[in-house]
Amino acid sequence: MSDAAGSAVDYLPELSTLAAVRPLTAAESLFHLDMPHRALGHHPGQFVQVSLPGIGEAPISIASSPTRPAGFDLCIRRAGNVTEAIHRLKPGAKIGIRGPFGRGVPIDDCMGRNVVIIAGGLGLAPLRSLIQYITDHRSRFKAVTILIGARTPETLLFPDEYGAWRSRDIKVEVTVDVSKETWLGHVGVITNLISRIDVDPDTTVSIVCGPPIMYRFVLRKLARRNLQNDHIYLSLERRMKCGMGKCGHCQINGLYVCLEGPVFRYDRIAHLPEAL
Amino acid sequence: MRLLFLPENHVLPLARLLAARYRFWGPAAKGGAFVFEEIADVSRLRLDYSTTLLPPKQAFLPPREILARIDIETHECRSPARPGKPIALFGVHPCDLHGLAHLDLAMGEPPADAPYWRARKDAFIVGLACVQRCMPESFCDSVESHRAGGPFDWMFTPVAGGYVVELRGEAGEREASESGLFEVAGESWKKNYDETRDRIEKTFSGRRLNLASLSSDLERSFQDGWWEKLADRCFSCGACTAVCPTCVCFDVQDEIAEGCRMAERCRSWDSCLIRNFAEVAGGENFRKLRSERLRHRMMRQGAYLAGRFGLPVFCVGCGRCPHACLGKISPLEAFEHSRKFPIRRYAQRLVEHIKNGVTRHE
């Protein structure tokens, strides 16, 4: 008991400063934040609790790699009170941060292997952290493929960065659900892209993040490409209030997404009926 | 184990001594029922209480609590000041002692919850043995929480003329010796004490659960169509979680204070039975159906949290939730059903369910 009391953690946000805002789509912008007193010290795939006093807190995944100096990026969609308010902020504004929280992508399990990153919609935001990490340590990974799906070309995230990723010997394939005639790329669901790439089941790991509906279809397709469940990582979204395994909102059966996730190895959650 | 004797007429003087050093909480009568609350006048203490409307959980996890006070201009923030005196909880029945033990586990799992432990750390806890069943809905014997357990410093067992008191730990010894109100427990008291304990075992011998298999029984019954039938009696009101000694789930909201200069980040009790509990900002709701939410609570109480902390069960059988529930839904009913649930019927029902597209209640 005294141990718990001694090492207990408070819910106090730390101060960060909004350094820059880059609009990405009609609904999403990229916010670059600086913490004056410390580095965030996160792993790709982790998240922070972002807050504005009087408005509230929201869990947001970190969209930049810890290998990038000075600050971190959050890709935020306008979806509620807090995110709406953050979208109204100008550079120089102060934002509260708690975290980082959760377990991110196990980088060690990806090193020395082929990596297939599958991102649907806003799912590219947390995976950008991993992608940047890979581009900064490219030699530690074998073949790297990024499959990106979006509803329309206009809702694609970070299209101006794909060129830089490709220049680091990364294959980037993009598809949209609906397009106009000006779109020259793939049209259709993201699973179509999985059929088009080489997958060596022994040496490949896949990391998947997207809307809830996407996982079942992607997993079925990956199984058809003979990728074992213990080579697949899923980043799952749930409601979170505390980030410390207390408030109960993020529970998937008996697991707390904020402690044991948000990135899970698929074989460890495949038996959980509430996971997917 | 050290036993002392406290004569009946020493109870109030003892309570007064504690009330001088601690914020004194105990059972008191209120509006035709009993409540656990901070008592200024210790003569209101009712050790003959049956059970309280709410468990003593609120002493350490209040229904509403400020987690941080933040200056809206400067963003400077601090946690609220530590309350001056620690809490003494006097007269806690065994089910609620076990409840406190479970709260300690949930709030102590790293990272431990600082606001909870600020209130809990130096608390002095006095247990009181139950010699009779408090209400028909309780099932403490089925989950083995009718015996003394959990984090007590003193455990009172009523005997003729007073209480035999078990002392535990340094604080328990210190407070007892400083009070000068306890007597050495003589042989006749000890005999009386053993008789009372035997009587307690006889009174609470209606055990109806197989705790060894409870969590696997529940997990196996997860897809049972019966949960939907049970949910027909659920109104998603959240009364069950509010009266629960082990439910800790909370919401966090900002409120404006001090003429718009400060924001108070507050947590308040939440309930996994409420419709939007697992809804994310994009609108996806991961437990949209009432039956899914009801099942989740039963799973937390019988399987998830029990498994997490290496216990056979997390529910303490206090009976408050079936008592408060409009549909009289009891965890005991769910736990017992999961055991009886045969695999064959599950398969059959699942097929029917998929075929007919049974009406679901949101």
**DSSP string over A153-178:** GGG-SSGGGHHHHHHTTEEEEEEESS
Chain A residues whose CB is inside 8 A of the B120 CB are 1, 5
Contact B146, B127 (CB under 8 A): no
Contact B167, B176 (CB under 8 A): yes
Same domain, A161 and A93: no
Q: Is residue A255 part of a domain?
A: yes
pLDDT category of residue A128 using cuts at 50, 70 and 90: very high
Cβ count within 10 A of residue B183: 13
The last residue of one of the domains, among A47, A66, A101, is A101
What range does the domain containing A75 cover? Answer: 8-101
- Decide if the complex's ipTM is over 0.90: yes
Partner residue facing A12 (CB), from B79, B272, B304: B79
Locate the chain A residue with the closest alpha carbon to B108: A4
The last residue of one of the domains, among A72, A101, A130, is A101
- A86-91: which pairs have CB atoms within 8 A and are 24 or more residues apart? A86/A31, A86/A50, A86/A52, A87/A29, A89/A18, A89/A21, A89/A31, A90/A18, A90/A21, A91/A18, A91/A19, A91/A20, A91/A21
Interface residue B121 vs chain A (CB under 8 A): yes
In angstroms, what CA-CA distances link A99 with A12, A39, B76, B240, B331?
10, 11, 17, 32, 36
Same domain, A138 and A259: yes
Interface residue B73 vs chain A (CB under 8 A): no
For residue A92, what pLDDT is reported?
97
Cα A194 to Cα B288: distance, rounded to the nearest angstrom? 31
Partner residue facing A254 (CB), from B248, B281, B304: B304
The enclosing domain of A187 has a CATH number of 3.40.50.80
The enclosing domain of A47 has a CATH number of 2.40.30.10
Same domain, A213 and A256: yes
Same domain, A139 and A258: yes
Cα A13 to Cα B182: distance, rounded to the nearest angstrom? 48
The reply to whether residue A212 touches residue B251, judged by beta carbons under 8 angstroms, is no
For residue B126, what pLDDT is reported?
98
**Contacts for B23 with CB less than 8 Å, ≥ 6 apart:** B38, B83, B85, B86, B87, B88
Q: Is residue A3 part of a domain?
A: no
Same domain, A173 and A269: yes
The dihedral sign for the CA sequence B89, B90, B96, B97: positive
Same domain, A183 and A138: yes
Cα B15 to Cα A169: distance, rounded to the nearest angstrom? 75
Count of structural domains, chain A: 2
Q: Is residue A137 part of a domain?
A: yes
Same domain, A266 and A201: yes
What phi and psi, each to the nearest 5 degrees, are found at residue B183? -120, 155
Best B103, B113, B272 member to test A by mutation, with max A CBs in 10 Å, is: B113
Q: Is residue A223 part of a domain?
A: yes
Best B216, B265, B304 member to test A by mutation, with max A CBs in 10 Å, is: B265
A30-41 pLDDT, tens digit each: 999 999 889 999
Nearest CA to A88 out of A103, A73, A78 is that of: A78
Interface residue B107 vs chain A (CB under 8 A): yes
Chain A residues whose CB is inside 8 A of the B256 CB are 54
- Spacing of C-alpha A36 from chain mean position: 24
Same domain, A174 and A249: yes
Query: Which residue reads 């014997």 in tokens?
Result: B141
Q: Is residue A1 part of a domain?
A: no
Q: In whole numbers, what is the pLDDT of chain A averaged over residues?
A: 96
Chain B residues whose CB is inside 8 A of the A103 CB are none
For residue B188, what pLDDT is reported?
86
Q: Is residue A85 part of a domain?
A: yes
- Which value, to the nearest 10 degrees, does the dihedral of the CA atoms of residues B223, B226, B227, B230 take? 180
Same domain, A60 and A182: no
Cα B230 to Cα A137: distance, rounded to the nearest angstrom? 55
For residue B361, what pLDDT is reported?
60
For residue A5, what pLDDT is reported?
79
Cα A257 to Cα A240: distance, rounded to the nearest angstrom? 8
Positions of chain B with pLDDT under 50: none
Q: Is residue A134 part of a domain?
A: yes
Same domain, A203 and A255: yes
Same domain, A91 and A118: no
A220-270 pLDDT, tens digit each: 999 999 999 999 999 999 999 999 999 999 999 999 999 999 999 999 999
Q: Name the minimum distance, in Å, from the CA of A12 to any CA of chain B.
A: 6
Interface residue B106 vs chain A (CB under 8 A): yes
What phi and psi, each to the nearest 5 degrees, are found at residue B291? -65, -35
Q: Is residue A251 part of a domain?
A: yes
Best B286, B297, B313, B346 member to test A by mutation, with max A CBs in 10 Å, is: B286
Cα A222 to Cα A206: distance, rounded to the nearest angstrom? 9
Contact B27, B35 (CB under 8 A): yes
For residue B358, what pLDDT is reported?
57
pTM of the predicted model as reported, rounded to 2 decimal places: 0.94
For residue B342, what pLDDT is reported?
63
Interface residue B72 vs chain A (CB under 8 A): yes
Instruction: Kindly state the DSSP code that residue B153 receives in the 8-state scheme.
Output: S
> What is the pLDDT averaged over residues A196-215?
96
Q: Is B222 helix (H, G, I), strand (E, B) or coil?
A: coil
A35-79 pLDDT, tens digit each: 988 999 999 999 999 999 999 999 999 999 999 988 999 999 999
Cα B287 to Cα B293: distance, rounded to the nearest angstrom? 6
Same domain, A118 and A93: no
The last residue of one of the domains, among A101, A119, A152, is A101
